[in-house]
Structure 1
Amino acid sequence: MKIRLVNNGVFTPVEEIEMALTAPAEGFYWIDADVEDLAVLQPLFSMHDLAVEDCLSEEEQRPKIEIYESHYFIVVNSIRFDDEEIFLRALNIFLGRHFIITVTKQKINELRTLKPLLWEQEVSQPDRFMYLLIDLIVDNYFLVGDRIEVRIEKLEEDILMHTKKSHLNEIIGLRSEILWLKKVLGPQKEVINTLNKRDLRLIDDQLQKYFSDIYENAVKISETFETYRDLMGNLREAYQSSIANRANDIMRVFTAITTIFMPLTVITGIYGMNFDNMPELHTHYGYFVVIGVMVALGVSMFFIFRKKDWV
């Protein structure tokens, strides 16, 4: 657990947690905690039992906002994409009048990238801290969306050039993750809309209007992932079409080969009959003539099929 006094974007480490219980002369306290620290923080900051239970739960938490007497409890999901799987990491925020507590189970990159932004904008209020943090989280969805789009384009190119059975597993896996992510974006969008429109005494009225920009971005993100879902459907159709075309090409080649060998089979069948009165059997160069005819016939048929683009 790290405790910092934030004033005009400048961080001052605080050793004693008790100092954060009272409002500082200037600035606010930011407590960056793990879930294990809640046992200490809950009685000191009067955290509601249900909010603490949500933080400790092993189940995936939906984004939400809960209003309590002395603080707000807000859950938003940070996103991460490692080219194989999409990860959502819950960020639990306790917003008070003079403090903000962030509780996480895993590291959240936005908490690290937020620090220079606080210094640049000389932040001295916890509600503005939360606004900038949520804004970073939402913006990161755009970055992940761009990477997903690149992966979709590459997958489409691979399917058109060299279709493999493994591509179907990639399509199904990525599509299911996009669908799952889109379900999560709905509640998160509503949380941001609540921060924008609801009368919240711990958030400055002027600052609250800025949440509308974040809400618009959240709507754009939701629409973008809706588009990705449709693209994955088109990609699956392209895969199935490519597989069907390849099967047709193979069958066409086999059919052409079979057609070429059919007259050759007839010739060998005729001269394979066990009749004594077959003049060609006694011809000195009969064998070579028949072989020459068969080769000429096969080559001629091959070039005819090639000219018609059948092979």
Structure 2
Amino acid sequence: MKTRLVQDGIFTLVDDITEAMAAPDHGFYWIDADVEELEILQPLFLLHELAVEDCLTEEEQRPKIELYDSNYFIVMNSIRFDDEEIFLRALNIFLGKHYIITITRQKINELRALKPILWEDEVDAPDRFLYHLMDLVVDNYTNVGDRIEAKIEKLEEDILMHTKKSHLNEIIGLRSEILWLKKVLVPQKEVISTLNKKDLKLINEPLKKYFGDIYENAVKISETFDTFRDLMGNLREAYQSSLANRANEIMRVFTALTTIFMPLTFITGIYGMNFDYIPGLHWAYGGVAAVVFMLFVGMSMLILFRKKDWL
């Protein structure tokens, strides 16, 4: 657990957590802790037992905001896209009047990226800290959306160029991830909307319009994922059409080959009949002439099919 006094974006480490119980003359306290350390934090900052229970549960938490007397409890989902897999990591936040507590189970990239932003913007209030943190979380969804879009484009190109059976598994897997993220985005939008529209004593009034800007970005991302869902349906149709076209192409080649060999079979059938008088039967070059004639017929039919674009 790290306790920092934040004053105009400048961090000062605090060794004694009890110092954070009282409001500083200027700035606020940022306490970054693991779930195991909630046992220490709960009595000090009067954290509600239901909120603590939500933090301790290992089940995936739905984004939400709970308003208590002395603080607000907010659950957001940070997103990561590593090795072609999407991961969601719960970010639990307790917002107080002079402090903000972040509780995580894994490392959250947004918390690392937040420090230079706080310093540059000279942040000195916990609600502004919350704004910048949420802005980074939503921006990461935009970045992941861009990578998903690039993956869809590549998958579409691969399907059109050379369809494989593995493409269907990729389509199904990617569509499932998109639907999963869509379910997360809906409650996440509601959390941001609450911070934007509801009258909250711990959120500065001028800051609400900034949360409104984050909400607009969240709506755009949600609409983008709706588009992705439709694109995945189109990809599946393209995959099935490509397979059907490939099967038709193979059947067309087999049909053309069968048609080409029909007259050759006819010729060999005639010369295979047990008659004494067949033209060229006793000619020394009759066999060669028959083979040359069959080659000529076959090549002529092949050229004709090519000319008519049947092959």
Q: Deviations over 1:228-258 (max 9, x none)?
A: 1111111111111111111111111111111
Q: TM-score, normalised by structure 1?
A: 0.97
User: Identity across aligned pairs (percent)?
Assistant: 76
Match of 2:104 in 1: 104
Match of 1:300 in 2: 300
Tell me, which stretches of 5 or more residues in structure 2 are unaligned? none
Offset of 1:83 from its aligned partner? 4.8
Match of 1:11 in 2: 11
Offset of 1:281 from its aligned partner? 2.5
Q: Tell which deviates more after alignment, 243-252 or 269-278.
A: 269-278
Match of 2:218 in 1: 218
Match of 1:61 in 2: 61
Q: Tell which deviates more after alignment, 117-126 or 267-276.
A: 267-276
Offset of 1:57 from its aligned partner? 1.0
Query: SS where residue 26 of structure 1 aligns?
Result: coil
Q: Distance in 2 between matches of 1:218 and 1:199?
A: 21
Offset of 1:277 from its aligned partner? 4.4
Match of 1:50 in 2: 50
Q: Distance in 1 between matches of 2:141 and 2:292?
A: 70
> 1:195 corresponds to which letter in structure 2?
L
Q: Distance in 1 between matches of 2:277 and 2:27?
A: 116
Match of 1:157 in 2: 157
Query: SS where residue 11 of structure 1 aligns?
Result: strand
Q: Distance in 1 between matches of 2:139 and 2:93?
A: 18
Match of 1:228 in 2: 228
Tell me, which stretches of 5 or more residues in structure 1 are unaligned? none
Q: Distance in 1 between matches of 2:220 and 2:67?
A: 27
Query: SS where residue 207 of structure 1 aligns?
Result: helix
Query: SS where residue 155 of structure 1 aligns?
Result: helix
Q: TM-score, normalised by structure 2?
A: 0.97
Offset of 1:55 from its aligned partner? 0.8
Q: Distance in 2 between matches of 1:244 and 1:81?
A: 34
> 1:288 corresponds to which letter in structure 2?
V
Match of 1:92 in 2: 92
Q: Distance in 1 between matches of 2:213 and 2:257?
A: 65
| Structure 1 outlier segments of 4+, above 6 Å | none
> 1:102 corresponds to which letter in structure 2?
T
Alignment of 1:1-311 (within 5 A): 1-278=1-278, 280-311=280-311
Query: SS where residue 149 of structure 1 aligns?
Result: helix
Offset of 1:274 from its aligned partner? 2.7
Query: SS where residue 281 of structure 2 aligns?
Result: helix
Query: SS where residue 273 of structure 1 aligns?
Result: coil
Q: Distance in 1 between matches of 2:286 and 2:114?
A: 91
> 1:12 corresponds to which letter in structure 2?
T
Q: Distance in 2 between matches of 1:276 and 1:297?
A: 25
Change (3 A) 1:134 1:279: closer
Q: Distance in 1 between matches of 2:247 and 2:39?
A: 63
Q: Deviations over 1:10-60 (max 9, x none)?
A: 000011111111111111110001111112111211111111111111111
Q: Distance in 2 between matches of 1:309 and 1:105?
A: 63
